Structure 1
Amino acid sequence: MDLSLTSPGFAIIDVIDRVPHLVATSTVQTDSGEPQALRYEIIEAHALLFFRQHQPDSTITREIWPPARNFAQNDKVHGAWSAVDRALSRLGLEVTENLSPQTVKKAVTGNGRAEKKEVAEAVRKWLRLSPDYKFRAGYDDSDACAVCLAYLIRENLIDKIPEVAAA
């Protein structure tokens, strides 16, 4: 998961014979004009429906938010985390892994400072998607895939793609 108050991203990736396969992605856009509490409710409802439909049976990983000096930003991200945690809890699930943005980018692209377009390109390669596979605006679904892939790479559960491993 790549969580935010504006557009959290979710992804499910399955591994078959050490090859990752995209099962599903999803994002939900919240409206900045609505009360923050309502936005959290929308995220929680979306997460509940997404995880209820896909029933992950393994690790649930999220990208952590490096603390910012801006308390309001920290509050918004942690509120989104809490909303998703409530949804997962109702299904008997919980986040089991947390990865930093730099860890995710480094594992997936070879560059801990990669831009969103570079991450999306690497995700397409790892998942063997066509080069013109479209991720949503903002790349929140691509980022969620990258979080999943980074965990799978770290745990040596998938084979490296030569093009990406050389980066």
Structure 2
Amino acid sequence: MRVLGVDPGLTRCGIGVVDGGHGRAVRFVAVDVVRTPADAELPERLLAVSDAVERWLDAHRPDTVAVERVFSQHNVRTVMGTAQASGVVALAAARRSLPVVFHTPSEVKAAVTGSGRADKKQVGAMVTRILRLTEVPRPADAADALALAICHLWRGPVSARLAQAQAQAAQLAKAHRARLAAARRKE
């Protein structure tokens, strides 16, 4: 499975591609950071992010897109820009009928370092080690994008099985409630 990981942002948007094999085997494919000038108008910045993501989707043909989930920060303007960049990424993937999965920063950190409270330096070091890179991807947005892809490769199958099990359990519970209701009506 090939995953495009995206660490969304307007100033810097990390994009990385990782291939997953059997078990926890992963292989580095590519990484980059899309930069937009802070003084550019919002539509121009979103267009630049969109164009770059579209190019990467076409060039690398991922099976899934993993995006960092926007979380509450004190700076509303930063959150808005990150959310808008995330939307552009999700839209580009949807146009290609690609699944988009959102992972929280703590999920990503826990998946690659073992701790949901790891700092950027620890994430970068583990991404470098896991993917057998010669140096830490810079800036941190690049390492974060690769970490998102790794996180999805390692957690995605488990999450999918869990969701499937929950759906089956809900169907069984619904059928059981229907049988109980029918039995009560017969009494």
TM-score range, shorter chain: 0.7 to 0.9
- Unpaired segments ≥5 residues, structure 2: 1-5, 159-187
Matched, 1:117 2:121: yes
The structure with the larger Rg is 2
Higher strand share: 2
Which residue among 104, 110, 116 is the counterpart of 2:108?
Answer: 104
TM-score (norm 1): 0.82
What's the C-alpha RMSD, in Å, of the aligned pairs?
1.8
- Unpaired segments ≥5 residues, structure 1: 158-167
Query: What is the percent sequence identity of the aligned residues?
Result: 30
Q: Of the two structures, which has the highest relative contact order with CA contacts closer than 8 Å and spacing of 6 or more?
A: 1
Matched, 1:28 2:28: no
CA distance in 2, matches of 1:154, 1:86: 23
CA distance in 2, matches of 1:72, 1:100: 19
Alignment deviations for residues 6-50 of structure 1 (CA, whole Å, 9 cap, x no partner)? 111111111233310011112111100111111111000010011
Higher helix share: 2
Matched, 1:74 2:79: yes
Number of matched pairs: 152
TM-score (norm 2): 0.74
CA distance in 2, matches of 1:62, 1:155: 12
Q: Counterpart amino acid of 1:76?
A: G
Instruction: Note the 1:5-154 alignment, pairs <5 A.
Output: 5-18=10-23, 19-57=25-63, 59-95=64-100, 97-130=101-134, 133-137=135-139, 139-154=140-155
CA distance in 2, matches of 1:134, 1:102: 20
SS at match of 1:28: strand
